[in-house]
Amino acid sequence: MGKKSNLSGLRRFLPQLEEFLDKSTASLPEQSQAPQTKKRKTGTLSLISTTYDASALVPHYRTADDVPENLQKYFSQRKRYFSLYEQGCLLDEEGWYSVTPESIALQIADRCRCDTILDPFCGVGGNAIAFAKTCEHVIALDISPVRLALARHNAAIYGVADRIEFILADYISFANAYLSRPHPTRKIDVVFLSPPWGGPGYLSPSDNPASSDEHQDELEAHPEYSLSSINPIHGADLFRLTKRLSNNIAYFLPRNTRLDEVSALLESNKTSVADDEPQMIEVEEEWMGSKLKALTCYFGGLVAGQEHLF
């Protein structure tokens, strides 16, 4: 764990996805086809370059007066999301309410040190940027060409874009293509699962996506969050699929997640003789000041005391 090695592009990593990735890249906005010094031959967005500009895709808000009302509360936290925000970091509307605060992303990245980590729902790049500081190679997926372009833009600001493969793809297709190869040429050491939770209303019993975290924090208790609310598939099914890629999983979940459902994941997902060995799940609370923001559930060799399983 943590051992570094020289890695090649995705042509060696996943040949079967090459045609799919070529088509995906062709659908990117014109702004994402910025001048480049060198382009990998795999159809991915990761280029060996420190200059990339996606500022034409979304506004970079500089003052609160410029921000839409529904994003005001997030804008006040901008430097917690990206400490280099003032240097031009970009977020789309979904990115504003879903990006992992930088200090939390760095904490998780420190726990997930490895050669190759997969971030299947990278959004605007908060976690992928942190992983690029502790891992040799980051594979970052997203289904949105805009968010993927913004993630690469932000990674360039942090100077780590050359360590990240940005791939326009849905995780289910990617995972199934990877698993269809009997002997993949690159091992995925760790998977960081941070799937969509269902919007900013995940703490509320109502379906109103405009529910406020601040209002909900005034309540003594929140409705328990079920893994069935995760997208694009049930959270337990997502875990089962991911465990076929790697036993080392960091599952980023709402702070009100039902822990009995998390605990049940191991019992329902024994796939090998090695799985007969008693294993633990480590649940880490992610705090920002006095507020609990999320849970990170570690599996496999990421759990303290189970490093031998890595």
What is the pLDDT, as a whole number, of residue 271? Answer: 53
Q: What is the pLDDT of residues 61-82, one digit of tens each?
A: 999 999 999 999 999 999 999 9
Region of 229 on the Ramachandran plot (φ > 0 left; ψ -120 to 50 alpha; else beta):
alpha
Mean pLDDT of the chain: 82
> Picking from 15-29, 174-188, 190-204, 290-304, which range would have the lowest pLDDT averaged per residue?
15-29
| Residue 275 banded pLDDT, cuts 50, 70, 90 | low
Q: What is the pLDDT of residues 131-167, one digit of tens each?
A: 999 999 999 999 999 999 999 999 999 999 999 999 9
Q: What is the pLDDT of residues 248-266, one digit of tens each?
A: 999 999 999 999 999 999 8
Q: Decide which of 34 and 190 is more confident.
A: 190
What is the pLDDT, as a whole number, of residue 38? Answer: 29
Whether residue 226 contacts residue 258, with contact meaning beta carbons closer than 8 Å, is answered with yes
| Residue 198 banded pLDDT, cuts 50, 70, 90 | confident
| Residue 203 banded pLDDT, cuts 50, 70, 90 | low
CA separation (Å) from 256 to 180, 236, 250?
A: 36, 16, 17
* Three-state secondary structure call for residue 137: strand
What is the pLDDT, as a whole number, of residue 219? Answer: 42
Domains and CATH numbers, the chain: 43-201+223-270+278-309 (3.40.50.150)
Q: What is the pLDDT of residues 227-249, one digit of tens each?
A: 999 999 999 999 999 999 999 99
> Picking from 43-57, 96-110, 211-225, which range would have the lowest pLDDT averaged per residue?
211-225
What is the pLDDT, as a whole number, of residue 221? Answer: 61
Q: Decide which of 97 and 16 is more confident.
A: 97
Burial 31-67 (b: 16+ CB within 10 A, else e): bbebeeeebbebbbbbbebeebebeebbeebeeeeeb
